[in-house]
Amino acid sequence: MLSEIYIKNIAIIDEINISFGPGLNILSGETGAGKSIIIDSINFVLGERASKDIIKHGKNEAFVSALINIESKKAISAVRDMGIEIENGGELLISRSINATGRNTCKINGRPASVSILKAISSLLIDIHGQHQHQSLLDPKKHIELLNIFCGEELQHALSVNETLFREYREYRKQLAALSGLGKDRETAVSILRFQIDEIREASIKVGEEEQLREKQAFLFNAAKIKELSNNIVNLLYRGDGSAAEKIGDAEGLFISLAKLDDSVGENISQLEEVRERLDVITEFMRDYAEKADVSDSDLEEVDNRIEKIRRITAKYGGNEEECLKFCAEAEKKLDAILESEELAKEINRAISSKKKEIYKTCLEISEIRQKFAGKIEKEIESNLHGLGMEDALFRININRKRTFDKTGMDDVEFFIRTNKGEELKRLSEIASGGEMSRVMLSIKSVLAGCDDIETFIFDEIDTGISGRTAQQVAVKMSALGKTNQILCITHLPQICAVGDSNYLIEKIVENDETKTIVSRLDEESIIGEIARLTGGAEITESTLKAARDLRKGKNAVK
């Protein structure tokens, strides 16, 4: 939902901020008051092409921001897939400015973005229908998606089966391409793979070996110092004059002599013996440790060479020992596959042929389901168009069979329309009239409501060339669509104005010799006044006010 739009320095708009509500939002006002400028501003912030000419006279920069609250989980996911951070609440703030040199600055949730990203994201969220071109239904790629959703579970099951089959088919094709792609290079590929495998095997790479060698390298590098310190420790503990062992022995003799005089100190003798035994263990460990440090330069050189070899091999084949061994295993598989490729290619071709038969069968089923539902959609949309004053309109969904298939089947789907008797069917994009386009889109959206994830529709020029009963029918459709989507509608018709959930008056004023556009949200009494103005023109009488109240009362009946 478009919650808020802020516009500054565009055309005759100085600075306005509009907060929109859910349901049907009506924008009305005198011709030339600036209604189209608001639509232009929305188009601008949604990423449509714009020039510096939109900047208000005398200003250096134009700026528009839009606050959008996204409710659809699918739309939120699609926005996140584009790399845009979005809060769990689905709030998205997009902004765009253009300066006097024509330079654009775009931001999404405060972060810089390109115009193309801005347009891609906003196209998922808002559709504008009228004289402007921000219309998702004009994209034929969208037509098959809408038809698929309208067909419901019956089609979704068939599509799911086909997608699985197509994924398996593509995997077989990849395998075959890998085999066929070798061609004359088969012998070269075999030679390279064998060389790689032999080089890794000869190196006898083991996971964790380099780390162990580096520890040994550090020990060997410091071997002389380690040996010196170890021998010093042995001397202090056991060998040298006045060593710890000698002093403990002296103390032990004194304790024995003392025990003869006093039995109470006898137990200390056994404790001192334990100390001497522990000292023996430590001394023995240090002797062994000193012997390990008794190395030659060739020992260090051998470790250095091994580390260098491991680093050289792993650098070529993955960066570390684990990836190197993984590369070797994959190379062995590739080599085996190539050596067995001829027979394997035959097997894969048989599998591809079988899978294609399954896919063709499923694609036919998909086409039949689409054809069945397409007829229902055509009738409903035509009925809506006839009720909206386009009595001679024809709507057709063209489903053409392609020679190729993909995960969606074998169909090309595109919507065509004839708006006047005697004309040929045309693509939706070829409709010239903004008013016709808006009514066509209203009819399609009414039938397909809920099928796509676009939450906000903006209708401009929808009332061009209609009045009376047709205007009332348009109001009914707009009101019904407003129950499931947010609608913004610029209108000159009292019938449409009367069914608004939120009504806004756009006015042009002169202030300090400067023309400005202002927007006001109308209360209930002001809405009656605006309906009366649209009904009776400049002069508002009691009868036009009464008619306006009657129209407004009819809102509940329409709802």
| Spatial CA neighbour of 413 closest among 446, 369, 380, 457 | 369
Q: Where are the alpha helices (DSSP H) in 489-541?
A: 494-497, 524-536
Whole-number pLDDT of residue 140: 84
Give dist(CA 455, CA 139) in Å, integer.
17
Phi, psi of 97, deg, nearest 5: -130, 155
- φ/ψ region of 208 (left if φ > 0, alpha if ψ in -120 to 50, else beta) reads left
Sheet holding 426-427, edge to edge: 394-406, 409-418, 426-427
User: How is residue 532 written in tokens?
Assistant: 């009366």
Q: What range does the domain containing 494 cover?
A: 2-125+454-558
Whole-number pLDDT of residue 134: 47
pLDDT mean by block of 10 residues, the chain; 559 residues: 94 93 92 86 90 91 94 85 81 93 92 90 82 63 86 90 95 83 70 90 86 76 71 74 74 78 78 82 80 70 82 87 91 84 83 95 95 92 88 92 92 91 86 73 78 81 76 87 90 91 92 87 93 81 87 68
In a domain, 212, yes or no: no
Residue type for position 433:
S
Residue type for position 40:
D
Give dist(CA 376, CA 255) in Å, integer.
112
In a domain, 248, yes or no: no
Give dist(CA 239, CA 251) in Å, integer.
17
| Spatial CA neighbour of 189 closest among 34, 18, 336, 87 | 336
pTM above 0.75, yes or no: no
Whole-number pLDDT of residue 247: 77
In a domain, 467, yes or no: yes
| Spatial CA neighbour of 551 closest among 471, 495, 508 | 495
In a domain, 425, yes or no: no
CB of 91 closer than 8 Å to CB of 97: no
Our count of domains for the chain comes to 1
Q: Any idea of the CA torsion for 45, 46, 49, 55, to the nearest 10 degrees? A: -10
User: How is residue 392 written in tokens?
Assistant: 């001679």
In a domain, 73, yes or no: yes
Whole-number pLDDT of residue 18: 95
In a domain, 134, yes or no: no
In a domain, 74, yes or no: yes
Whole-number pLDDT of residue 339: 80
DSSP assigned state of 181:
T
First to last CA, the chain: 20
What's the gap between Cα 438 and its chain centre?
30
In a domain, 377, yes or no: no
Whole-number pLDDT of residue 132: 45
CATH assignment at residue 15:
3.40.50.300
